[in-house]
Amino acid sequence: MSVLPILIHPDPRLKKRADEIDEITPDLRELADDMLATMYEAPGIGLAAPQVGVMKRILVMDCVKDDEAPPRPMVLLNPVVTETSEDMNTYEEGCLSIPEQYADVERPSEVTVTWTDLDGKEQTEHFTGLWATCVQHEIDHLDGKLFIDYLKPLKRQLITRKMQKLKRERARA
């Protein structure tokens, strides 16, 4: 298991649609393990493969926040949202590819998602609360969409300029 470097916005790979997964290989299982290790180390509650530069439709998440409760690492291959609630929820979102920037994003408060698990079995689950927000945030990553794309252009430009400055500083370090 290795912790992988997380791409920082702006990066063309974060704006592209990731490719469907058509075969579950040992390499894919290793990628899922590495993505979970990377997510926990960040720390985060979700991570999508394009964020580590891999253009495949795989995401991981574990939104269990109570340290007393057992973790619930999830690996979703080719996830598809099949139902969304009328009811909306606003959450102050962040993103591991846009560090230290937070903004309110409104999304459906409940979603049903179907995906393939690492055993090749089709799964369907109804997500609510933070899980619903997180899975929508991660599926957006697979479609090249970032939470800042929901913001007004000025706010988005402000954040993008801050990230360009951060990347220049990191390059000099």
Min CB(165)–Zn ion separation in Å: 19
- How far apart (Å, rounded) are the C-alpha atoms in residues 3 and 36? 9
Nearer to ligand K2U, 26 or 148 (CB): 148
Using rule CB under 5 A, residue 14 touches Zn ion: no
Min CB(54)–Zn ion separation in Å: 15
Catalytic residue flag (residue 122): no
Using rule CB under 5 A, residue 45 touches Zn ion: no
Amino acid occupying residue 61 = M
Residues numbered 68 to 107 that lie near Zn ion (CB under 5 A) are 95
- Binding residues for ligand K2U, rule: CB under 6 A, are 44-48, 91, 93-97, 133-134, 137-138, 141
- How far apart (Å, rounded) are the C-alpha atoms in residues 80 and 160? 29
Min CB(134)–ligand K2U separation in Å: 4
Q: What is the DSSP string of 17-79?
A: PPBPP----HHHHHHHHHHHHHHHHTT-SEEEGGGGT--BSEEEE-----TTSPP--EEEEEE
Q: Which of 100, 110, 122, 138 is catalytic?
A: 138
Unique residue bearing structure tokens 């964020």: 51
Nearer to ligand K2U, 55 or 122 (CB): 55
Percent of the chain that is helix, strand, coil (3-state, to 5): 35, 25, 40
Nearer to ligand K2U, 109 or 133 (CB): 133
Amino acid occupying residue 13 = R
**Which residues are identified as catalytic?**
138
